[in-house]
Structure formats: structure tokens, C-alpha cells
Amino acid sequence: MSQQTSVLDAPGAVLEPPKREQATGLDRLVADVPLPSALIGLLGVYLLGAASSFFTAEGSDVPLWWPATGLSVALLLLTSLRRQWLLALGVALASGLASYTEGHTEQWALGFGLSSGLEAYLVAWLVMRGRSERPSLRTMEALWRFLSAAVAGSVAAAVVVAVTAVSVGAPPTSTAAPLVASHLAAILLVTPLVMRLGPFIAEERFLEAVLEWTLLLGSVTYIFSPGQALGLSFLPLPLLLWASLRFGVRTVSYQLLTIGVITTVLTAAGGGPFAAGAADGGTSAVVTASLVHAFLIVTALIALPLAVAVDQRRHALTRVSANEELFHKSFTESFVGMLLLSLSRKGLRIRELNETAAEILGGTVEDLLDQPLEPYLDTRTSWKDVTRRIGSGDLTGWREELWLARDPGRRVAFAMSPMSTAGEEAMFSAQLMDVTEVHEATSRLTTEKDFTEAVLSTTAALIVVVDVDGNIAGINPATERASGRTEAEVLEQPLWGTLAPNTDKRFLRELMERTRPGRETGRTPSVEGDLLTADGRLRRIVWSSAPLTNETGRRTHVVLTGIDVTDERNVRSMTNHLLDAATSTSFVGLDLMGTITIFNAGAQELLGYTADEVTGRMRLEDLHDPDELALVSVEHRTLPGFPTIIAGVESGPQTRDWTYVRKDGSRVACAVTMSEVHDAFGSVIGYLAVGRDVTEYQRSQKILVESLEKEREAVSQLREADRVRDEFVSMVSQELRTPITSMVGYVEMLRDGTAGPVSFEQARLLDTVRTNGDRLLALIDDLLTLSRIEQGSFTLQKTTVDLRMVVNRCQEAVHSMLDGRGLPVRFDAPDHPVLVIGDFPQLERVVVNLLSNAVKFTEDNGHVQCSLQVVDDRLAEVVVSDTGVGIPDDEKPMLFTRFFRGRLAQEFAVQGTGLGLSLVQSIVHSHDGEVSIRSSEDVGTEVRVVLPLVPARHRMDAALR
């Protein structure tokens, strides 16, 4: 036996599964049994089944044992789940053929074969369910699964055999009951040999094992030898217990199989206590077989659980011993300070520590043993509270960075966890690590990080960090604001195509390459490119770059810093464009002494000089009329040498008319605005003179003044004419009202028969006269009302008005318009009062006018609606809507113009004067309200009148009254 095997089998060795490459014997078998091995196994099943007569007591046909069942289950356990069913069919065929060979009928052989195949498959499936490797007997859980599967398989086989017995006319109980015990015994004794059982016997126990084997085989042979009738069947059990306690599951499994073979062979030969009455046959033979089965089953159930439990315990003890030795070695040799602490009434005390912990705490191991821990560590946390919470289970452990009490400059990391909280003294393990340098470095890094983050967050410059391949590693908030993208959106994305257009890839790549070692030029490289924003716009950026390197000096990242010059470039471009495009306006820039610095195209066009002729060479005063300069100098009392043209500019831009002298000597009148130019700090750095030729303007101004005077006289005449017209309309309306009213009255009298009977035709004509008279009176009333409103003589008799009453009166008035019409009109009003301050008749006139327009412009089968509602508890809203012809868009601006009649009104010959909406607007405005119209041609019109409600307090008083 190899040395390695001896180590594994030694007392206290770790009982790990053998490695596949080191396995021997049956452990070499893989998940699927090779075909030759499977065929040999099935042949063995057949031979053992056919030879069952050798295991039959004298005078009986009941086998004492059926080892073929154990071999069948073993074969299926050695193959994978997906092929077990195929091997189970082979077992059924071999078992049935063996039964037929023994002389049983075909029907019996078929049933027995099916029971054997089902039994083997069921046991293997239950044992291997959910597992891909061969099962073992190394844990109690695996043993109970194996025993349960063996019982279930035996019972299933017995059920099938019982059904078969009934079909052939045999008693089912006399056949099925012995089969359960026989097959269960076979499974328990044979099958464990193909399961992972653990190591063989250790070399140092070899002699003990030989002695135990000799005694066991001798006792079993003696007990079951022919002629021996003493009831000594219990004698092997102590020897099996000896094997279970000392040699493990593997030895016990071989011994159980050996006991099974000896017992069945000798009992079949008439030996042993169970064969006392077997020679007579009948019931005695069945009893013999049952006793043999029970003996084997009980023996297996006693020995196997004990052996498994002892192996499992030995494994656990070995692991504990190994872990304890490893812990002690790690404890003493650890580079981390290790302590074992005990908790007593006096607090935490040091029971054991290593050299590292003693060095950290500032003493020796001997000096620190049995000393309290608290005086050595400075913490604000209560040690008592920590140990109490760990002991109660609230904390699984505690860690904190602490200062050493006797060396305040040193920082240590302390971690404590429970080892045992039961008993008089709770035990804890603790670790100490000097983290002073780490703490100082972390503090510096934190400070630097905070400083860097503050700089990156507050700087207005754009900062983009990219790797050497151009992928974005980070951006600062200024870049996020400028690009409209968050850092998460662009991380690990290529710089070009994300924050920079693809057209700038070459420039940016060259900029990044300038940071490569060996290509430095002594100055920060920069390039002007574009920033691509989230909405697709471009902003002009001046990029500069700097490398980031690791500790070896290798470049890992490149920092791109950008300055947004978009606005500056836009302003410069706009300025240049304005200077070049303003050909009719001169822009002349001056320094503090009045020397020309800017001379645009407009100035060149105006004065005849080129920019090169005057820029930096002439003063603007050289281009002015000297006489005007002299007058202004006297007026503002300018100092000698001080530019006269900028006098008074310090108080703000100054505009005055100057006379410029052109290059050819001619003079031109210009309006010049002089203003100061400031830098970013508010200091004056120059002046700007903006001038334009006003020669024609002065001439046109003179003509315009004369024209305005004439227009003023014309307007005065028009106003007088308009006043006369209004007075005439008012006078004519008043003069017409009286006779027309009289005419309408007389017509009514004639219609009523006052002057005699009236024929039908006469009544019709009188009705026409009266209708036209009423229309004429309404027109006159509208004209008078509008005239009074414009003259300011229109007065309203305002009271508290319930708009519901107004709508109800209008509902009665509109009925006369609907005679002979197929046009429904709907009225909606709330249940509660809607109170406003207004003139009841005038408000009624507003609603009637709107309803009249809706009815006139809506064809039959259309729809007209008048609704009253309250909005926001502050406003009353009257809405008149229809499905009529609508109003064209081009006519909507003229709807409230007096006498305006639209194109559709003329096409459909709708009667009206064009005064209704103008009158409605005037009345609504006089009530502090608003009127609006929404209309679509061929769809309909909606007119909305909004009036202020009576305040809530007044509405409450009105309700109480």
C-alpha cells in the first residue's frame, strides 16, 4: 500500500474524496459504464439469478438471498441518469431470462423481469436525483437517502411480483413478502461497494484489521456451520461494531458482503440456527429465509450508520485539528497584530498575542499578557456596549480606526469578532494593523482630491481626460454644461464623434501625440477646434493638452483643457462683418489721444480716404471743419492737446452734427455719436465715432416738417368732420325715431282692426311694414347707443343682475327668429345665481345680438348653443356657439368695425347693418368685460363674453336678502 494511502487512512486524517487521477478500483469508473463492462454486469445479473437455487434452503423454493438485485442497482448507479433507463431494460431482460431458466412460466418470468428492472431504476433514480456524480456514503444524509431508496425499490418490486402472482393464480402474499426482505438485503449488502466509501485500512492498523477479520469470519462460520443450532447469531455484531469504530465504511461494506455470502451458503446447506426446521420444507423453509433476510438487514442497519457517523466525525475532528494547527501558526507568525481577548467583569483582557501586536501596543508579549486592553487604545466607542452587542448577536463583529493612547501620533486599524460568547468568560479574537502612514497618505489624497474636485467643478475651462486611444475617461461640469451631455453618457466613448466632430480627429490626434515622451517642445501644445453639443451645434474651442503618466513614466492618459472662444469669435466676426458691411455708416476708432485706429468701409466711402492712409497716421480732428472745432473747444473749454471731439463723452455717449472735410476738400454734414470704449475691467481704452451722412436727411427733415404741418391741419379738419358726422347721425336718429315709432304704432292699430276689418292680404302687408319698422327702430337704437358711447354721454343703469335671468329673457326673444326653421337652440345655465354688476337691458341686447347672428348664419339642421358658466369663482362666461358658415381668416381683424359686413353675409343675403358686434364690444367693455371670437370657415363660430362676478361677500349678502 502506498505512502499516500497510509496518510489518508491515518487516524485523524481528512477524509476527502480521492482525486480522479489517483483513484483505484471501482472509483475509476466514470458516469457512463462502457459497453463491455455493462454486458459483463448484465451477464452477472443473469448468472446470479439463475444460480439462486444454490441459496435455497433444503425442501424450499424460496431463495435465502437474491444478490442479482444488488448487482443490478450497482450497475445503474455507475451510469448517468440519461442512460439508466436503457440499462434498466437490460436488467429486466437478464432477470426475466434467469427466472425462465429456473423453470418458471413465461408469464412469471416476464413479471419478475419487469419488477427487477423497475426496482433497480427506482433505487438508482432516488439515490442520484439532482446529482451528476456517483453517490457516496460519507454523510448520514447520503445513507438515509440510500436506505429510503432501497426500501422504496424493494416494495415496488414486490407490488409488481404480487400482481404477477395473481395473474398466474399463485398467492400474492407468500411470494411478495419474502421478496421484499430478500431484495432489500441484497441491495444493502452489495450496492454500497460501488459507492464512494472513504479510505482503506491504514498501515498502522493492519494487524488489528487482520485480527478483527479473523474473529469475524471465524464467528460467522462457526455460528452457521452445519449441525450448529445454538442461537448465537448476535455474536458477529460486536465485531462489526469494532470494524465500524476503527476501520470505516469501506471495511464494513466488505465484511457485510462476506457475512451475507457465508450466511446464505451455510444456511442453504442446513447449517446455523435459522435452518433448524428447513429440512421439513413448507412454512419452516419460509421462516428460515425470512430469518436470514432479517439477520442480514439488521446487521447492515446496525453497522452502516455507525460506520458512516464515525467516519464523518473523524473527518470533522481532522479538519478541526488541522484548522487549529493552521490558526495557531497563522496567529504567531502573522504580520498582522493578533490578540485573543477574554471578557470578565473587569472588561476585556489580553489572554494571548503575537509579537506584531505587542510591538504595535508598545510592549512585550510577557508584559502585555493578562493586561486590560482599554488603556492602550483611544476610542470614543464604549467597549462595554460593543461586547454586549456582539454577545447578544446584534453585531457580528466590530472594526474601527483608533489612536494609540500611549503614542497619540500612531493610528491603528482594530477589528474584533466573537470566538465564544458562552460560559463564564466570553472569548474574542482581534487584529491590529498600524495604518499611520496609510491614514496620513489617505488624508493627503482626500485633501488633494477635494481640492482637485473643487477646482474642476468651479473652473470655467473645459477639461476632458482621454486614454491614449482617444476614449473619454472623464469630463468636468463645465464640459457637461457646454456640451449638454453628462459624464455617464460619454464615458468610454471615442472623443471624436462624441464631443468633437470627426473632421477634427486628425488635429486632436496630433495634439495628443505632442504629449508623447520625446516630442515635448517646452510649451503647452494647443489647437483650435470644435465642440460637438448634444443638439448637434458646434462651439469653437481652443484645446491644450498635458500627459498623465504612471510611476514608470509611461503615458496613460491625456488631459485636454479647452477654452470656449465661441462668443469671442462670434463677436469679432460680427464686428468685422458690421464694419465691412456698414457702407453707409462710418465707424472710426480712436485711441486715447484721438489717433485713428479703425477706419471702416463706410468711413472710406464717406470721406474718400483709404484705411491705410489714415490708420495710425491721422487724428480724427484732422478731418473736421476747423471753425466748428474752435467753437466747440471754446464751449467746452477743452485743454490744449486734448481732443475736442470727445469733450463731454465721459458722462455718456454724445451725438452732435459735425462737418467733415473730405479728401477732395468738399464738406459733408454728418451726425456723429461719440462714445467711450472700455476693457473688461471698465477702464477707458479708446473712443468710437459712429457717423452718417445727414445732408439729405436735413433736406428731407425740412420738407417733412412742412408736410407734418399740413397733415396736422388736415387731421384737425377730419376730426371736426367726424364730430359733425356723429352729431348729424345722432340728430337724424332722434328725428327719425319719433315718426317711425308713430308709424309702427298706427300699423299695429290697423292690424288690430281699430280702423275696420283687415283682410288676410292686408294683414300680411301690415305685418311686413311692422317688421321693417321694428328693424329700422333697432338700427336707430344701435346708432344712438354707439353715438352716445363715442361722445361719452352713454350712461348705464347698473344694478346687481343675475345672468340666468338675462339668458332666460333671450331664450324667449330668440323663439320669434326660429319660426319656420329647423334649427335647434340649446340653453345651459347653472342652478345657482350668477351675479354681476351691470345694466340688464344692455346685457340682454348683447346676448340677443350674438344669438341673432348665430341663427342668421346657421342653416337648418345645424346647431346653436348658449351656455352660462362660472370660471375660477371670479368671472362669469357667456358662450354663444353655432355650426354655421364661419368667418374667413382675412375678415377676423375687421369684425368689430362699424358697418362691416363680411363676404359670406353678402353671398347668403343675410340681413344686417354691421353694427351688432361693434355694439356688443362697446357694451361689454363698458361693463369691464372682454369679448372674443373663435371661428373657422365652414365649421362654425364661438363668441365668448367674460364679465367680472360680484365679489363673494356681496353675493352672500344678496343671497341672504
Q: 206-232 pLDDT, tens per residue?
A: 888 888 888 888 888 888 888 776 777
Instruction: Inform me whether the pLDDT recorded for 59 exceeds 60.
Output: no
Position 880 scores a pLDDT of 93
pLDDT at position 380 over 60:
yes
Return the higher-pLDDT residue of 177 and 869.
869
Digit-coded pLDDT (tens) for 710-724: 777 777 766 666 565
Average pLDDT estimate for 655-668:
86
DSSP state of 859: -
Mean pLDDT of 189-203: 71
C-alpha cell of residue 758: 283687415
Q: Is 401 helix (H, G, I), strand (E, B) or coil?
A: strand
Range name among 251-260, 547-556, 642-651, 737-746 with the lowest pLDDT average: 737-746
Residues 20-31, mean pLDDT to the nearest whole number? 38
| pLDDT higher than 60, residue 823 | yes
- Long-range contacts, 616-623 (Cβ 8 Å, 24+): 619/590, 619/593, 619/594, 619/595, 619/643, 620/588, 620/590, 620/594, 620/596, 620/645, 620/689, 621/594, 621/645, 623/660, 623/661
- Tell me the pLDDT tens digit for each residue of 754-788: 767 777 777 667 666 766 665 566 666 666 666 66
**How much is the mean pLDDT over the chain?**
78
Confidence (pLDDT) at 54: 59
**505-560 pLDDT, tens digit each:** 787 888 777 767 655 555 667 788 888 888 888 888 888 888 888 877 788 888 88
pLDDT of 889 strictly over 70: yes
Residues 425 and 430: their CA atoms lie apart, in Å, by 16
Average pLDDT over residues 105-131: 83
Most confident of 57-61, 287-291, 654-658, 913-917: 654-658
Of 425, 426, 423, 345, the closest CA to residue 390 belongs to: 426
Least confident of 527-536, 571-580, 950-959: 950-959
Residues in the chain: 961
Lowest-confidence pick of 497-506, 588-597, 693-702: 693-702
Reply yes or no on whether the pLDDT at 413 is more than 50: yes
pLDDT attached to residue 547 = 84
* Higher pLDDT among residues 198 and 595, named by residue: 595
Strand order in the sheet with 684-693: 596-599, 585-590, 684-693, 667-678, 654-661
- Containing 88, the helix (H) or strand (E) segment is helix 81-101
| pLDDT for residue 21 | 37
